[in-house]
Structure 1
């Protein structure tokens, strides 16, 4: 599936390309079978993030190793693998501040049948997950893991605030409960809030009914505030998140759903002495740690609906509607 400039759902179309062939030194050949949609993917496809004409979309990809090139010892034919959002960021602190080497953006993504790439562009997929489920960890899952565990140093007994019920927030809910945290979550849908309760959420806030939801969450904590906020909204929600966080707390700024710029209540943030940290997904080493945690905790992602690859445009339309809970899967 390829995207033609200048973008748009009507500019997505199947395309025949030459088989990538056999892997060279350090490479593996993977038969792809699943992906999942992210807000970043939608932005690329709609042309909000310009991409090269003919770009193959989708940052997430999971499948089975068909063959390995010389020097590859980490994987063998038959292994189930999942892609990395930043294929060149192997470990250590963040070194990447753009999307030039992100699949589906600066380079071709995984809306295809076979890929030949360096083995280091993949990790082992969690045991027991199918290709669609595994693909959800590449972007959404790893973002939640880094926000709470890698950077947030989440520990049992912490209190976490999650915004909305999209892919990152629902993965964060599962991670937080696995780690023994207490979770507050927001949504405009009572039905979605009840689903979140069924997954372990402890405090529910409908932000259409309670516009000062940050105050509601703070009051729920007895006035102390939450330890961590996974902030996916951006400028439109950040003031409420700052209101909700405790003095010395941690806010992970990972989304721009309400815009790319806006006012930040700097005096309140300063008074809270809170750490406001922007982040974009994580490293390959972080993903390997996350895979082990998924297996140890028996976690399975929430996949709302699955679409075949030839209905990719319909899947993006469903994403635009905002009615999904968790992730939207693509399978073939």
Structure 2
């Protein structure tokens, strides 16, 4: 049974949440009372979520947190009730939840990153969710809720990699694979005037990347020494920014693919969590900057939405599942069958 807006009030009822009742347990549907927003909070009718590598790890029970809890870091929907002291949003506004709702702006701290939906508390895989208004961002008008729900983790992560390297016209960005972060990096870098080199093991996936704006394509199965191809494409200079999603097995090549003074944004650990063997001397002599990226602040999310609106960017979504099929959605992610993002429709 759903709740309904009635004039200036809100008639409370119950809703369905997908709940992990124990570490590593598959989410199960559970009836819960719809919460009432308190001071500084809003109640969101959740219409969509999306699946990230982080969610896959969380659903496997490998991320610390209290049990039971509702998973999923990403969510988008409509404000249906507001609590006292909320001035930035009104009933009817379409919103997205920030990955780190307490990290408003500036550099991160452990305290600012402590709150994370789906980890530290209930996430977005439910029909209604109370959220702090300060941790919500207005949805770009040209996006559907399903499209918007792909932005909070993958979109903001790619955007902050681009920001860290101060990418602009004439720069070269190298990004790995055709997952959500990588294809967002393609779109954002191109919108800022940069050339983009995209790597993948699939020519079919590379063609999709080309349609989204990638200017040079490298199949790393047929060109395993892809860092040399990057140097060839750039006339020996290297990339201004390398978005490294592989981790241990790609980081050394990412360093070699960078220009002197370039940036390597370490975003993923798709090849595992082992120590990455890199040449410290190469990093030092070429003044290469290696920086870790874990999504970003609420302000950076707002700034991303400005770019998305101006450039009319839409996410590439290859799979949309019903929210009760989250296990199958995670399987598709783990198997690498997707291109771009995997979304969940919440009804």
**TM-score category (smaller protein):** over 0.9
Q: Deviations over 1:251-280 (max 9, x none)?
A: 111111112232222122112211001121
Q: 3-state SS of the aligned residue for 2:199?
A: strand
Residue in 2 aligned with 1:16?
Answer: 31
Residue in 1 aligned with 2:51?
Answer: 37
Residue in 1 aligned with 2:24?
Answer: 7
| Cα distance in 1, alignment partners of residues 345 and 52 from structure 2 | 15
> For the Cα contact (< 8 Å) 1:44–1:51, is it kept in 2?
no
Q: 3-state SS of the aligned residue for 1:64?
A: strand
Runs of 4+ displaced beyond 4 Å:
none
Residue in 1 aligned with 2:78?
Answer: 64
Return 5+ residue gaps in structure 1 as ranges.
Answer: none
Residue in 2 aligned with 1:238?
Answer: 251
> For the Cα contact (< 8 Å) 1:99–1:106, is it kept in 2?
no
Residue 97 of structure 1 and its aligned partner are, at CA, apart by 7.7
What TM-score, normalized by structure 2, do the two folds share?
0.92
> For the Cα contact (< 8 Å) 1:100–1:107, is it kept in 2?
no
RMSD after superposition: 1.3
> For the Cα contact (< 8 Å) 2:102–2:113, is it kept in 1?
no
Structure 1 segment 1-332 matched on structure 2, within 5 A: 1-8=18-25, 11-21=26-36, 23-96=37-110, 100-149=114-163, 151-262=164-275, 263-332=277-346
Tell me the matched-pair count: 328
> For the Cα contact (< 8 Å) 2:79–2:95, is it kept in 1?
yes
| Cα distance in 2, alignment partners of residues 209 and 16 from structure 1 | 51
| Cα distance in 2, alignment partners of residues 132 and 46 from structure 1 | 24
Residue 96 of structure 1 and its aligned partner are, at CA, apart by 3.5
Residue 244 of structure 1 and its aligned partner are, at CA, apart by 0.5
Q: 3-state SS of the aligned residue for 1:16?
A: strand
| Cα distance in 2, alignment partners of residues 163 and 98 from structure 1 | 29
Return 5+ residue gaps in structure 2 as ranges.
Answer: 1-17
> For the Cα contact (< 8 Å) 2:315–2:340, is it kept in 1?
yes
> For the Cα contact (< 8 Å) 1:33–1:132, is it kept in 2?
yes
